[in-house]
Amino acid sequence: MEKRALLLIDAAVNLVLGVVLVAYSPRLVDFLGLPQTAQSFYPNVLGAVFIGITIALTVQAFRKNDGPVGLGPVGALAINLCGAIVLAAIRRRGKRSDRGR
């Protein structure tokens, strides 16, 4: 199998896992039959990391040059930005719930 195809398959798997983890909620846990947890912070952040890895793998799959391969600055930036966006969303959601108290 071609290297590009493997990277894209891996990216697709990571995207599915990332979306499921970012959407992690008690209803989803019940639907999937998973054990309950008190908070969704860690699954949400892990989901963001998986989505960032998806972007990094996709960038790697469509690289033009045949130089050294690896994560590279674009992949690292994608992973970190996805994590930061989810953290900001969690913080914003927490501030909204604090207003009602």
70 against 93, higher pLDDT: 93
pLDDT of 97 above 60: no
Long-range contacts of 21-24 (CB under 8 A, 24+ apart): 21/46, 21/47, 21/50, 22/47, 22/48, 22/51, 22/86, 23/47
CA 64 – CA 84 distance, rounded (Å): 28
Alpha helix segments (H runs only) across the chain: 3-22, 26-32, 41-61, 72-99
Q: pLDDT (tens digit, 9 = 90+) per residue, 75-86? A: 888 888 888 988
pLDDT of residue 54: 92
Question: Which of 1-5, 28-32, 71-75 comes out lowest in average pLDDT?
Answer: 71-75
- pLDDT surpasses 80 at 64: no
Q: Is a pLDDT exceeding 90 seen at residue 13?
A: yes
- CA 44, distance to chain mean position in Å, is 8
What distances in angstroms separate CA 61 from CA 53, 58, 72, one per listed residue?
Answer: 12, 5, 12
pTM score, whole prediction = 0.76
Express as a percent the part of the chain with pLDDT over 70: 88
Over residues 29-59, the pLDDT tens digits come to 888 887 887 788 888 888 999 999 999 889 8
